[in-house]
Structure 1
Amino acid sequence: MTLRIRRRAAEVAGAWPEHVPPLLRRVYAARGITEPALAQPRLAQLLPPDALGGLEAALDLLSDAIARGSRILVVGDFDADGATACATAVRGLRMLGARDVRHAVPNRQVHGYGLSPALVEDLAVHLPDGAAPPPLLVTVDHGIACHAGVAAARARGWRMLVTDHHLPGPALPPADAIVNPNLAGDAFPSKCLAGVGVIFYVLLALRARLRRGGAFADAAVPDLSALLDLVAVGTVADLVPLDANNRALVAAGLRRLRAGQGCAGLQALVEVAGRDAACLAAADIAFAVAPRLNAAGRLEDMSLGIECLLSDDPAVARGLAGRLHAINAERRGVQQAMLADAETALAALDGDPAGGGDAAVCLFHPDWHAGVVGLVASKTKERLHRPTVAFAPSEPGGESLRGSARSIPGLHIRDVLAAVVRAHPGLIDRFGGHAMAAGLSLPRAHLPAFERAFADAVRQMLDPALLAAEILSDGPLSPHEFDRRHADALRDGGPWGQGFAEPLFDDVFDVAGWRVVGERHLRLSLRIGGVPAPLNAIHFGGWTGEAPATRCHLCFRLAADDYRGPQAVQLIVEHLAAA
């Protein structure tokens, strides 16, 4: 796949304090930021929850359940956003006075996605029919597509509150209350909240309601900022755009984690991932913490991950984090085997998707694990720069398939699936998701027809120009900017992530030396005019079996290199091509 490097336009404006280096001002300007308050928004700038639709009905349910001592059951999801949302809800409701809060999460292999009728059947053990007062179920990070499950819960006399951020279908589930900023007509200004962000906002509003009612007259008002470490992890892990509101939430959560104030489970996960909590960045969450948390939901049961996040005993949390670390190592092995299968399948296709012959990719293997197909779709999408769906049997040997779809910028993948459903009713059993990622299920017999329908929908909805992959660069660095001061300023200038891209630079370097490390990675020694000493660089996964050219055009990130000393830096290479 050929990549085009395009440099971002940046025109610095506004009054900046002296401690913000010109390099960081230029990076901000390239992202449309013209003043310090917008660059790193604080909690005081958070949007108020009042505009969220369905909020009053949700608060009625929650405040009544707390007042009457009703059992509240929080039903999570089996990814990092769902796990952190579940832990946030359980911890937050207990802080606000709920005396009987429990949690549950579907098992991917047993119940399928979300609040399904099968899960409701199992939950009945904890919530018997006719219980008085009636129990309240609260879904977090799902529920908007769980019509049958919500109906089954309501049929048992349970009250239902759905909190979600996924895009709704044409009809809403029959819940007593729904809070979702992406419902049609919802006035909440930001549509980018993750599932954990939605439930955090519900808790903020509930605290205000209870405070107005005098619930905290004889006690301190609960400090819900203690939950922001969980909010930060879920928000980053779910790859929602980091608009100003989400950046304020994530930055506050990172400050807690850096100060050693995170919950015991997250601190333990940071430790087993080998990261330095004192300088933790959003990228550490995305590439180290979240994968270990996600691994439980992918291969086993996310109950383990939620148990880790709810533990207040550091020793217990370390033990659970160690188990998650081991599961993640197993996940990596499964993923590598599945990616090898995917490479074999792609090589057998007529034409070369990477060369532009096909606009979409659809993969299936009968032996794949349904919990890992999302990673296969993501890696394939990155390699080919094509929207990709990867399928596996919902259960080993079964005739129902579960698929994960990943898209490229400019193509809303959930809208593509909706177009397939409109054109071919009955082809897909169920689907849901976001612009860049979605999930679906269908009978195995429908797969060939789906593959054709998916490719047709992509061709109709995708501008062919978007199939030309490009890297957005912040341009070159000046010689004096290859230092620790600028590396630290870039690291701390975030949080960076989806929709607020981490700074990436490009330039042409002479390769003074190179060696392979860890079989797959490339360690480089680089020279560039104006910088007297060679620059160290690492290109993860960069070894292709051939020596790099003596002069190369690199896209890279500037990072601290504590291993080599307190003032050392290194370049993290994202793309390398002969100059």
Structure 2
Amino acid sequence: MQLIDRPIPGDALQRLLAARIPPALARLYAARGVTQLEQLDYRLQQLPDFTRMKGAAAAGQLLADCLQQGKRILIIADYDADGATACAVAVRGLRMLGGIVDFLVPNRFEYGYGLTPEIVELAAKRQPNLLVTVDNGIASLDGVAAAQARGLPVLITDHHLPGPQLPEAAAIVNPNQPGCDFPSKALAGVGVMFYVLLATRAALRERGHFTPENQPNLATLLDLVALGTVADVVPLDALNRSLVYQGLRRMRAGQACSGIRALAEAAGRSLDFAGHYELGFVLGPRLNAAGRLEDMTIGIQCLLSDDPAQTRRWASELEQLNQARKDIEADMQEVALNRVDLEQLGQQHSIVLYDRDWHQGVVGLLAGRLKERFHRPTLVFARGQDGLLKGSGRSIAGFHLRDALDWVSKQHPDLLHKFGGHAAAAGLTLAEADFPRFAACFEDVAQQWLQPAQLQRQLETDGTLPPHELTLPLAEALESQVWGQGFAEPVYRGYFRVSSQRVVGERHLKLQLTSADGQAFDAILFNQVDFLPDRISIAYRISINRYAGRSRLQLVVQQWQSAESMPQ
């Protein structure tokens, strides 16, 4: 793996230093595109107004009508963590505003994705007056038409890229729809729904239903917004960082909803110092496990209930589902790794795999694992119904996965039954008999679009850190910030001597490292038991090891290689 230092624009760095940002933080911010202090102002008052989002005001008026007229609203959810949190935000928020609200989440294995005619038929049995999609709907042309035929209006809230034609919905709120000038195109589905609630509350306030003094505090929903935003791996632009920052602040203050607290408790994690790791790698996967293996209803119920005993039971079920998901994924990964021909891979620009025994709900995770390991755009398929394969893909920088599938569909119009997604991830359906032809076509586009240099794995670092800056206060400062997709957690590089090392937890190395100037640092290398050489060059993250009431600086080794001598 090649280590590449992030460039630091000098003008931006100087402005941040002039604003009295500490040098270590100023360098990090400048390297991540921050040019002025306002981009680090995460107060809710600084959020862009909902009036700038196309369709939001109309959606607010539509929902305000329903609320004041006592009409029944049915939320049509999606089966991932973004869809689950968006559904919980919609139900909780509309109930706070006085609405009669329920939800329906499709079983992915029976109904597939989005508002389909079949889901409309199922929803109609609930006798709603309005359907509201969350984290889906922008591509549901047939579903919206089916609802219209029943006289059932549809409000679409979504964030996915639209196709050439939009559904004939009563209102559409999606920052990525044509003609929307909202400054952030990176909102997750849960963030879009939060903005719709802001618009609805404003509409009710204009009608005298609320005053600024007695209106519900929608900020209480930001723990859910933060979870869905990080779990969906959307870019953390300034707006998303603000939403996540405020949500984490609530969690750390003990104000998370009962479901989030129960999920963390079941995982054996504290929310006192929650960050993007807890959201993306602890809570998110446990919530996603329901949608991957069974039905997301249990996950949404966990997020909606305020009964601690009930949420503990649901969180326990989600914990068991997540363990089952891990076991299934491990078995699938073993089969997949045996399928990858490392010699042939050197000539390939993509990985496309299928096994009839693989689980449809886990193929996306497997694609992500293989992409990370081999640094190739990866698509993994499992059997669906009626002779069809359901595939999920993950991609590398510089290769827009949805655009690649669109290119394949245009070159071979009979090949793909359905596809959708974005640059980094996508899903598709094709006939089982067409799998070999698709794999060849996808490899063709990968060969055309990717240069060999793009297939070399790189790790961006923030350079070397002066020893006097490598301190516990810096670790605490970094921990208080928001890091994640598009605003990467800092990674540094440096040379150290290995003073001591031992295996802990049966599969990790606990290290004592010494810098060139003689300073000693605790460090850990996860998932390795083979001892390291005496001198190493490493890429590392800075963390805090809290144990028995004490906090110690700890380096988390990301990559290492032998170093023959220490630099002077």
Task: Give TM-score, length-normalised by structure 1.
Answer: 0.93
Is 1:466 the counterpart of 2:454? The answer is yes
Give the aligned residue type for 1:505.
Answer: Y
Q: Give the aligned partner of residue 439 of structure 2.
A: 451
Which deviates more, 315-324 or 210-219? 210-219
Distance 1:567 1:312 in 2: 33
Distance 1:555 1:281 in 2: 21
Q: Quick one: which of 302, 307, 327 aligns to 1:308?
A: 302
Deviation at 1:41, TM superposition (A): 2.7
SS class of match (1:279): coil
> What does the per-residue CA deviation read over 1:257-310, in whole Å, with 9 as the maximum and x for residues that have no partner?
111111110111122222221111112111111011111111111000000000
Whether the aligned pair in 2 keeps the contact of 1:16 and 1:36 (CA below 8 Å) is no
Q: Quick one: which of 276, 299, 306 aligns to 1:282?
A: 276
Q: Give the aligned partner of residue 335 of structure 1.
A: 329
Is 1:386 the counterpart of 2:384? The answer is no
SS class of match (2:560): strand
Distance 2:7 2:226 in 1: 30
Task: Give TM-score, length-normalised by structure 2.
Answer: 0.95
Q: Quick one: which of 460, 477, 483 aligns to 2:471?
A: 483
Deviation at 1:6, TM superposition (A): 0.8
Mapping 1:526-541, distance limit 5 Å: 526-533=513-520, 535-541=521-527
Distance 1:239 1:60 in 2: 31
Mapping 1:387-466, distance limit 5 Å: 387-394=377-384, 399-466=387-454
Q: Give the aligned partner of residue 96 of structure 1.
A: 97
Q: How many residues matched?
A: 560
Q: Quick one: which of 203, 207, 210 aligns to 1:213?
A: 207
Q: Give the aligned partner of residue 498 of structure 1.
A: 485
Whether the aligned pair in 2 keeps the contact of 1:179 and 1:198 (CA below 8 Å) is yes
Mapping 1:47-62, distance limit 5 Å: 47-62=48-63
Relative to structure 1, the CA distance from residue 219 to residue 21 in structure 2 (aligned partners, 3 Å threshold; closer, same or farther) is: closer
Is 1:568 the counterpart of 2:552? The answer is yes
Distance 1:213 1:287 in 2: 43
Q: Quick one: which of 263, 278, 286 aligns to 1:269?
A: 263
Mind listing any 5+ residue stretches in structure 2 that lack a counterpart? 564-568
Whether the aligned pair in 2 keeps the contact of 1:268 and 1:321 (CA below 8 Å) is yes
Distance 2:404 2:291 in 1: 26
Distance 1:569 1:531 in 2: 16
Q: Give the aligned partner of residue 118 of structure 1.
A: 118
Deviation at 1:386, TM superposition (A): 0.6
Give the aligned residue type for 2:116.
Answer: S
Whether the aligned pair in 2 keeps the contact of 1:74 and 1:104 (CA below 8 Å) is yes
Q: Give the aligned partner of residue 146 of structure 1.
A: 140
Which deviates more, 11-20 or 452-461? 11-20
Distance 2:61 2:27 in 1: 48
Relative to structure 1, the CA distance from residue 84 to residue 17 in structure 2 (aligned partners, 3 Å threshold; closer, same or farther) is: farther
Q: Quick one: which of 501, 523, 533 aligns to 1:549?
A: 533
Q: Quick one: which of 221, 244, 250 aligns to 1:250?
A: 244
Relative to structure 1, the CA distance from residue 80 to residue 542 in structure 2 (aligned partners, 3 Å threshold; closer, same or farther) is: same
Q: Quick one: which of 369, 386, 403 aligns to 2:359?
A: 369
Q: Give the aligned partner of residue 319 of structure 1.
A: 313
Q: Quick one: which of 525, 528, 543 aligns to 1:559?
A: 543
Relative to structure 1, the CA distance from residue 516 to residue 214 in structure 2 (aligned partners, 3 Å threshold; closer, same or farther) is: same
Root-mean-square deviation over aligned CA pairs: 1.9
Deviation at 1:563, TM superposition (A): 2.2
Distance 1:142 1:218 in 2: 32
Distance 2:370 2:556 in 1: 22
Give the aligned residue type for 2:370.
Answer: T
Distance 2:420 2:43 in 1: 32
Which deviates more, 370-379 or 118-127? 118-127
Whether the aligned pair in 2 keeps the contact of 1:480 and 1:531 (CA below 8 Å) is no
Distance 2:212 2:450 in 1: 59
Deviation >6 Å, runs of 4+: none
Whether the aligned pair in 2 keeps the contact of 1:514 and 1:524 (CA below 8 Å) is yes
> What does the per-residue CA deviation read over 1:69-107, in whole Å, with 9 as the maximum and x for residues that have no partner?
111000111100000000000111111121x20001011
Whether the aligned pair in 2 keeps the contact of 1:21 and 1:486 (CA below 8 Å) is no
Q: Give the aligned partner of residue 8 of structure 1.
A: 6
Deviation at 1:329, TM superposition (A): 1.0
Distance 2:266 2:307 in 1: 16
Deviation at 1:20, TM superposition (A): 4.8
Whether the aligned pair in 2 keeps the contact of 1:555 and 1:576 (CA below 8 Å) is yes
Whether the aligned pair in 1 keeps the contact of 2:187 and 2:229 (CA below 8 Å) is yes
Deviation at 1:19, TM superposition (A): 8.2
Deviation at 1:427, TM superposition (A): 1.0
Give the aligned residue type for 1:86.
Answer: C
Distance 1:305 1:378 in 2: 23
**Quick one: percent identity of the two aligned structures?**
50
Whether the aligned pair in 1 keeps the contact of 2:130 and 2:155 (CA below 8 Å) is yes
Which deviates more, 263-272 or 215-224? 215-224
Is 1:292 the counterpart of 2:286? The answer is yes
SS class of match (1:562): strand
Distance 2:257 2:493 in 1: 39
Relative to structure 1, the CA distance from residue 206 to residue 218 in structure 2 (aligned partners, 3 Å threshold; closer, same or farther) is: closer
> What does the per-residue CA deviation read over 1:455-495, in whole Å, with 9 as the maximum and x for residues that have no partner?
12222233443222111101122222332111111111x21
Relative to structure 1, the CA distance from residue 417 to residue 15 in structure 2 (aligned partners, 3 Å threshold; closer, same or farther) is: closer
> What does the per-residue CA deviation read over 1:199-247, in whole Å, with 9 as the maximum and x for residues that have no partner?
1111111111111111115971111101111110000010110000111
